[in-house]
Structures are given as C-alpha cells and as structure tokens.
Structure 1
Amino acid sequence: MTGTTLTLFSEFLGTMFLILLGNGVVASVSLKKSKAEGAGWVAITMGWGAAVALAVYVSGFMGPAHLNPAVTLGFAIIGDLEWAMVIPFILAQVAGGVMGAVLVWLTYLAHYKETTDQGAILGTFATGAEIRDNTANVLSEVIGTFVLVFALMMFGQNSFTEGLNPLVVGLLILSIGLSLGGSTGYAINPARDLGPRIAHQLLPIAHKGDSKWEYAWIPIVAPMIGAALAALLYMVIL
C-alpha cells in the first residue's frame, strides 16, 4: 500500500475495531440472554474505554489513529493534518463504523432474535438522549467532545512511556463516559453514531424499529462544534 492508502486503511480498520468492541459491550449488556445482560452503565463505559485503547493500538502504527471525524477536524484546524485529507479520513471512519456494526450484529445474531425492545436494539448501534431536548443534547455532546479533543491535544504536550499513550486515551474515554455520558450516551464521534446507524437502517435485524434519523444530526454536528472550540482554545494557549 502507498502511504496515503495505508493511512486511510488504518482509519477504517481502527474505527471498525472501535465499533466492534464498543458497540459489542452495549450489545452484551442490552440484548436478551447474553451472559452480560443487565451489567449496567459502568460495564459499558469500561468496555468503551478499552475499545478505544485497543483500536488505537491496532491502527496507530499505520497512521494518526483519529478514528473520529471530530478529532480529524480539530487536528486539521491546528495544522496537524492537511485539509485535503479531512474528507477521505471521515469517509474511511464512517465506513469502518458501518463494518464494525455489521460484525456486532453477526456476533449477537441469536440474541437480536430474542430481543424485542426496539430502543435497546437501536442502542447497540447508535446513541440517543435519555431526555430529548435539542439544546441540552447538543450542549452535552459539545462539552463531551471538547473535553476529548482538547485533552488529546494537550496529551501531545506531555511525554509518555513508549506504548502508554493509547491506554491514557482509553482512560480519557472512560472518564468522559462515567462523568458526562449519562445524558446522550456520549457519541463524541460522528462516525461512531452515523456508521452504525446506517448499518441499523440497512441490516435485516430481527424486531428492529425506526433508526431515529430525526436525532442523528446531533451526534454529527455537535461533536464537530466541540472539536472546533477545543482547537481554537488550544491555539490561543499555545
């Protein structure tokens, strides 16, 4: 592979692993007759933290391992990524999100057949607000993504033992999930929501309901706003 192709593949592969392991823990907790059924929010946030760390380990040697359009936008704003690469990165990330969601569905195929709660099924693919309020939901996603992107940028100002950085990023995701995720499920990543939501729309999932596209703009737009604000603050400070 050429350098650019390998980098884009790393974004696809890393995002696929991210969604497979992240949405996988949601499916494990939410679907009927799973061994982890009912394990709760702490299990989900811990699973997502581990998913991010492992996805970065899998893909980081091939590229920057953004795995998130909001992160890509933020680093483009501060000059750490060529603007010409932003759209290709995002397309690779969304495609990885779709593939990861398909793999979750295949992994838990029998459990989807046993689950009739349409909201629980959609929750194994995409995010949603516990209290639907557009202003509050946007603010929640903006704040969560601001914390994510600003922290990632500031991590670059620190020296970590070689190989430790992905674990620190995973800890960041765990912290955001535990502290800020209770409102909207902390998408903080447009590809994390859009890719799996596309998969939910297209797959022949047993007992599935509506894909809730009327909400889908929030986990796309709000994280991009949060990332831009984080980048602007970073440039002011440094």
Structure 2
Amino acid sequence: MSSSDIFIGETIGTAVLILLGGGVCAAVTLKRSKAFNAGWVAITFGWGFGVLTGAYIAAKSGANLNPAVTLGLAIDGTVKWVDVPLYIGSQLLGAIIGATLVWVAYYGHFKAHLTDPEIVGRDTGQEGMVDRAAAPAAGPVLGIFSTGPEIRNVVQNLATEIIATTVLVLAILTQGQTKGLGVSGTGVLMTAFVVVGIGLSLGGPTGYAINPARDLGPRIAHALLPMPNKGGSDWGYAWIPVVGPLLGGALAAGIHRLAF
C-alpha cells in the first residue's frame, strides 16, 4: 500500500464520514431543517451510515478513518508504525474538510439558527451579534461539530470513551476470526452496525466520539468557521474525546493479543 493510497483514501473517506455524521447532527439540531428534532435514533443511524459509506470509499487505504483504530491495528501488527503519522494526519485533515462541507451544505440554516433570539438566549441586536466575553464554553451549535458530556465528570467521561472505543476496536480486530468477512466487504457493514449499537447503548453520557479525528477536526473547524453567535468550542473538554479513544484502541489491541 503506497503513501498516496493512504493519504487519498483516509482523507476522502474520513471527510465523507464526517459529512454524513455531522450532517445528520445538523439536520436534527438546526431549527429550520426538515429533520429538526428527529431524535437520537436518527443520529446514531446517520453516523452508522456515515461509517459505512466512508469505509467503502476508503477500502484501498484499509479504511481506518479513526486514529484509535489505526493505533489498535498498529499494536496488533496490521498497520506499520511508520505509516501511523500519515494515517492520523490524513484522518484529521479529512475530518476538518468534512465538517466544513456540513457548514457549506447548511450555511443558511446555521445563519438562521444562530440569529434566532430563542436559540442564542438573548437579544442579538441589529447586527445579530452577542457579547463574545459572555459566550458559553460550548456554543449552541458545537454539538453538530464535536461531542460534549451531559454530566461533566472527567473520570466518568473518560471512562465512557475508553469503554465505547474498546468495544469498537475489538469488534474490528476480531473480524479476522470469521473467514472471508473482510474480503466480502461484510466486515464494513458489521462495523457500521457496531457504531450504531455503541451510539444507542453507550452514546448517552458523552455523545460517543470513539474517534479522536472525528471530534478534534470538526472542533477546529467550529473554531475557525465564520458563524454569528457560535459561542465557544469547549477546549477544556477537547482532550477527553482524543485521549479516551486512543486509550480504548490500545486496550482493545492488548485484549485481542492476549485473548485471541
């Protein structure tokens, strides 16, 4: 596998993953969207289909699409350590691109949502702006781009991300035990279902990042994109959906090597 295969596959595949995953979050969150308030089930299936589509597109690169998966595969011996930085860099770039495309697709909806006094919680005035100093740590549309906890508890939030990512990466690593699963392409489908299952079962506490690039890339996009009244990007929480999944990926690889 060449470096160009990794870069192109992981960048485009992750961009599509985030475009569809972030897109369903935008559809459910933004007030003028036809899917407004569609609910958590819609979000979990949207992310699952995003994984499915992105992974099929990125088949030539191995379809990691996730630094935690790449780390787990490297520890397990499937991915070469020398390729790890390229995988992770490509995934992060793709995530930023995907989040930006969500903003483009919903541009008018973001503007309408963020200038609605009921959403921003105050009179925005003639120019549609709020006092930046008074903006909350997590802005009103940050959840479209990245995750955040319902109850802010560092130990619990970190543990949730570790547990959820361990399930994901262990499910991926153990696919090799079923003959022909990867060759047939069914492994990608099973991974998508696992992501849906994790969202339904373990997504409630933190929003289930389970992917450092999925959270960090869009959070960077949120910080940089020009949106009125967007609020803060909650950088104080940002390390948890990066460190937690990486620890979960490493733990899954350790369990796989010991148990299987």
TM range (shorter): over 0.9
What is the aligned partner in structure 1 of residue 129 from structure 2? none
Name the residue aligned to 2:136.
Answer: none
1:107 and 2:129 aligned: no
Cα deviation, 1:117-159, whole Å, max 9, x if unaligned, reads 4644101101000100000000000000000000100112113
Q: Distance in 1 between matches of 2:156 and 2:21?
A: 24
Moved more, 180-189 or 107-116: 107-116
Give the 3-state SS of the residue equivalent to 2:145 in structure 1. coil
* 1:153 aligned to which of 173, 177, 181: 173
The offset of 1:31, in angstroms, is 0.5
Task: Determine which of 74, 77, 80 is the counterpart of 2:75.
Answer: 77
What's the CA shift for 1:163? 2.6
Deviation at 1:223, TM superposition (A): 0.5
Is the contact between residue 115 and residue 207 of structure 1 (CA under 8 Å) also seen in structure 2? no
**SS state of the match for residue 188, structure 1?**
coil
Does 1:121 find its partner at 2:141? yes
Choose 1 or 2 for highest CA Rg.
2
Letter in 2 for 1:91: G
Stretches (4+) displaced over 6 A: none
Partner of 2:61, secondary structure, is: coil
Deviations 1:178-223 (A, max 9, x none): 0000000000000000000000011102320001000000000010
Over the matched positions of the two proteins, sequence identity in percent amounts to 50
* Paired position in structure 2 for 1:87: 85
| 1:174 maps to 2:173 | no
Q: Distance in 2 between matches of 1:45 and 1:217?
A: 23
Partners of 1:113 and 1:207 within 8 A in 2: no
Name structure 2 gaps, 5 residues minimum.
121-138
Task: Please list, as runs of the form range in 1=range in 2, the aligned pairs for 1:38-53 lying within 5 A after superposition.
Answer: 38-53=37-52
TM-score after normalising by structure 2: 0.88
When the two chains are superposed, the root-mean-square deviation of aligned CA atoms in Å is 1.2
Contact 1:127 1:187 in 2 (8 A): yes
TM-score, normalised to structure 1, is: 0.96
Instruction: Please state if 1:131 is matched with 2:151.
Output: yes
5+ residue gaps, structure 1, are none
Partners of 1:30 and 1:120 within 8 A in 2: no
Distance 2:244 2:147 in 1: 13
Q: Give the Å deviation of 1:228.
A: 0.7
1:114 Cα offset (Å): 1.4
